[in-house]
Amino acid sequence: GDSVTQMEGPVTLSEEAFLTINCTYTATGYPSLFWYVQYPGEGLQLLLKATKADDKGSNKGFEATYRKETTSFHLEKGSVQVSDSAVYFCALFPNFGNEKLTFGTGTRLTIIP
């Protein structure tokens, strides 16, 4: 079945550091890929998405590129801020089969000033 593997957390970085959160997936065909963010006490919000190979999703300084050859969708940001502290989820939606969002385990990110 479909699955998403995310980098284990928690991750703690200093403000303005470079961020990478790794995400790889297993799915048949070409799923759509997403990064969601969950701020403390809130629901999930879509951060960015990509629907086909080599697409790059970007939002709020975050980027992720859909790499079919490595089945990856790593999240990056060049300079993190304290306000980026949250839990980040990688997810996929298959292009056929059981149509549901499958999430990774989440990565808790803490940015210290």
The site string for other proteins over 48-67 (x = CB under 8 A, - otherwise) reads -x-x----------------
Applying CB under 8 A, does 93 fall inside the site for other proteins? yes
Q: Whole-number minimum distance, CB 79 to other proteins, in Å?
A: 25
Burial (0-12, 13-18, 19+ Cβ within 10 Å), 53? exposed
Residue nearer to other proteins on the CB measure, 19 or 44: 44
Q: What DSSP letter does each residue of 56-96 carry, written as one string?
A: EEEETTEEEE-BTTTTB--EEESS--GGG-EEEEEEEE-SS
The residue type at 52: K
Among 3, 45, 79, 81, binds other proteins (CB under 8 A): 45
State which residue, 77 or 88, has the beta carbon closest to other proteins.
88
- Pick 18 or 39: Cβ nearer other proteins: 39
57-63's contacts with Cβ under 8 Å and 24+ in sequence apart are 57/33, 62/35
**Using CB under 8 A as the criterion, which residues of the chain lie in contact with other proteins when the complex forms?**
32, 34, 36, 38, 42-46, 49, 51, 87, 89, 93, 95, 98-103, 105-106, 108
